[in-house]
Chain A
């Protein structure tokens, strides 16, 4: 039984400009005890999806099940969930302790039980010294932990988080990422975590659901998302710098990159498809592969980013250390067959995986 099952759920808003389909026929199922990330560009419907699961918004259509129970028409309180808001939503006039135990007070949990649970949570989150302070007297990271504490003290099996780290600086963000992940594992919580930061998604998630315009582009593990993107949107969204997408055209002895004179990079039947290559999978070996004109070189320390013009396309290659190239030079690009992704003209990944691998001149 899945912890959360969303089945063909839709939600739209009517605004002055017309109907906005924030969530458009979404379906997915999440395994118990996993951390699932909702990822996607701004405005793609991540928050709306989360709020639908929480019951803070009412779905136009579709059903939502939590732990096998149909909760579509239940109010938030009866869904047995906890939620951490992006803005933390701490009560500014209550102390840290009162904020954390707010829900227990509502449910009239006994004083002794409340005290032991508060102690446990405060120690877990390193808040023991701060219990008497008001939220206004805490740093951003501490406030975040209070919000987290309020969510986990409920001991709800499902925890929803809406961009909980977006207000923190880089260092704190990294620490909190690890903290949330280990907490989630230790308590066996099923977590739905919203972010638009792909690093956060890739490093934390068991599963990533990549959304775009209210629909799922791909629902997969981070590794699958990176290695076998389902379409060009996913291919461009995951990875920095994004994957190079190079249209293929018919050449003399096979498919060549559109606008270039060759050599061929794939069998002739690949003409018309799009070739996807990650910058980090391209190697520069003099005299081998495809020659391209260097347009710019950016030195980044550990590696360099070489931007080249090849036919009608511009592509980026990421290579280790510094390269002895300058704008105007010729760079020789080569790549392994396994690094090659082929997409149909409608953007979807070419179905036949074996042919993708075979379809390279460097095999």
Chain B
């Protein structure tokens, strides 16, 4: 086979994947950017070029800022918690304990359940008066509280659901990484007198850094991407307290049909995710030990 033939074969082989990627990822992204500089077409009125007008709208939109802040809090609250919990569960079920197969399955179950179902289960937990949480707190003598209905606790309640859902998923990655670590390392450290915590801090955790980076990227993306539970549980309320960026995009785009403004919001989301991913790979990637 000549070099040119090889070259042709190579391109032919990646063509299907490349075509799908272009069709469903690159084209929509570029189209979104294009739309964000045009007005929303309405009836007989076609879209016209408006320059940065849509973006100026963004700056003065209080709900956008609220949803952005909400999303940042949401990310800050769910990412470290779910990663920490995942690590904890993974180290626990990695040890030799009876029934660990069952535990692994139990921790992983939230991941395989559809988010809509999960959200409905939690909706029952949080229901005022007769929900599970309410029954427990009432039994303990606390005052009744509407978890999803009050501004102060609604976002927190959603964060708990997300952590519960995500931790099991991330645990699988940590567990896989832990399983590939030689037990001799722990034994060598034990002979030197290292405590379990010391060993974790000096050896296990650094060796898990590649996994942590991977999980972190996924967690950040998920924090901006997961809205199913918002749809089921709060619809952004009360008083925009659980308005997350993607849910706001959905509302603007498909409830108010302001596609131009939705495109602007989407560009913002893309910019955030792109920056975060780049930053993670650049800064943390340097400090990660790859074997």
Contacts and interface: CB of A to CB of B under 8 A. Distances in A.
A46 to B, nearest CB: 16
A103 B192 contact: yes
Interface stretch (B12-20, B63-71, B104-112, B180-188): B180-188
A85 B193 contact: no
A92 B184 contact: no
B76 interface: no
A54 B289 contact: no
A89 B185 contact: yes
Contact of A56 (B190, B193, B198): B190
B6 interface: no
Contacts of B291: 92-93, 136
Contacts of B276: none
Interface string A36-71: 000000000000000000101000000000000000
A93 B289 contact: yes
Nearest to B195: A106
B191 interface: yes
Contacts of A83: 187-188, 191
Interface in B167-192: 182, 184-185, 187-192
Contacts of A94: 202
A56 B192 CA distance: 12
Interface string A77-104: 1100111010101011110000000110
Contacts, number: 61
A107 interface: yes
A106 B188 contact: no
A273 B111 CA distance: 71
Contacts of B194: 77, 102-103, 106
Given A77-B191, A103-B193, A89 B198 contact: no
Nearest to A162: B184
A89 B192 CA distance: 12
A136 B291 CA distance: 7
B192 A106 contact: yes
B285 interface: no
A75 interface: yes
A154 interface: yes
B115 interface: no
Interface in B202-251: 202-203, 206-207
Nearest to B190: A76
Contacts of A85: 184, 187-188
A92 B289 contact: yes
A82 B185 CA distance: 14
B191 A81 contact: yes
A91 B182 CA distance: 10
Interface SS majority for chain B: helix
Contacts of A77: 190-194
A95 to B, nearest CB: 11
A75 B194 CA distance: 11
Contacts of B192: 77, 102-103, 106-107, 154
A154 B194 CA distance: 13
Contacts of A78: 193
A91 B193 contact: no
Contacts of A89: 182, 184-185, 187-188
Interface in B93-144: none
B109 to A, nearest CB: 28
A309 B112 CA distance: 70
Contacts of A106: 189, 192-194, 198
Given A85-B184, A106-B198, A92 B207 contact: yes
B189 A102 contact: yes
A78 B190 CA distance: 10
Contact of A76 (B185, B191, B203): B191
Nearest to B192: A103
Q: Which of the listed residues B185, B189, B192, B193 has the most CB atoms from chain A within 10 Å of its own CB?
A: B192
Contacts of B185: 89, 91
A82 B190 CA distance: 11
B153 to A, nearest CB: 42
A249 to B, nearest CB: 53
A83 B184 CA distance: 11
Contacts of B203: 91, 93
B190 A87 contact: no
Interface of B: 182, 184-185, 187-194, 198, 202-203, 206-207, 289, 291
Given A76-B187, A102-B192, A107-B192, 13 more contacts: A76-B190, A76-B191, A77-B191, A77-B192, A81-B191, A89-B188, A91-B185, A92-B207, A92-B291, A93-B203, A94-B202, A102-B189, A106-B198
Interface of A: 54, 56, 75-78, 81-83, 85, 87, 89, 91-94, 102-103, 106-107, 136, 150, 154
20 contacts: A76-B190, A76-B191, A77-B190, A77-B192, A78-B193, A81-B191, A83-B187, A83-B191, A85-B184, A85-B187, A85-B188, A87-B184, A89-B185, A92-B207, A92-B291, A93-B289, A102-B194, A103-B194, A106-B189, A136-B291
Listed from nearest, the 8 A-B pairs whose CB atoms lie closest are A103-B192, A77-B193, A89-B184, A93-B289, A89-B188, A76-B191, A106-B194, A93-B206
